[in-house]
Amino acid sequence: MARIFLIGALLLLAGDVEAQLLLYGGENSDQFLGCLNCGLVEQESVCNEFGPYGNEMSQASIWNRLSRYGNRNSRVSPWNRIGSSPPIVVDREGNDYGLFTINRSEENSQLSILLRNAYSAGNNDLTRVRDRFCRQF
């Protein structure tokens, strides 16, 4: 009986562990663009302003307005209001959490609503948007 209780408790605890939400972009969604809910100092975090995915100078960052993933005119950018191939959000097991975009016709997931709100409040300045998004997320 104690063994069954222990197994059940472990399963409950495992269910409480938050899945890492990973961002993939590009036409085939095969370019890793960072982790949305990793710690601020983790290398993979989109919120780490010194890491490759949170730095506004990095070509792999959605916060770089000159990169294909940060340029609001790029079809693979989350900032394109009519983009047809925005980044997707998945966890390490491959579970789909939807698109990561401000395009209202493409997605209305909680993540995209949060992103749109941060984008609007940040006045389209991606550094401000990043800071606002990361504080809320």
The domain limits of the chain are 19-136
Q: Are 70 and 77 in contact (CB under 8 A)?
A: yes
Distance between CA atoms of residues 83 and 66, nearest Å: 16
Instruction: Report the C-alpha gap between 74 and 85 in whole angstroms.
Output: 9
Per-residue pLDDT of the chain (137 residues; tens, 9 = 90+): 433 333 333 333 334 458 999 999 999 999 999 999 999 999 999 999 999 999 999 999 999 999 999 999 999 999 999 988 999 999 999 999 999 999 988 767 888 999 999 999 999 899 999 999 999 87
Q: pTM of the entire structure? A: 0.84
HSE, CB side, 13 Å, CA atoms: give it for residue 58: 21
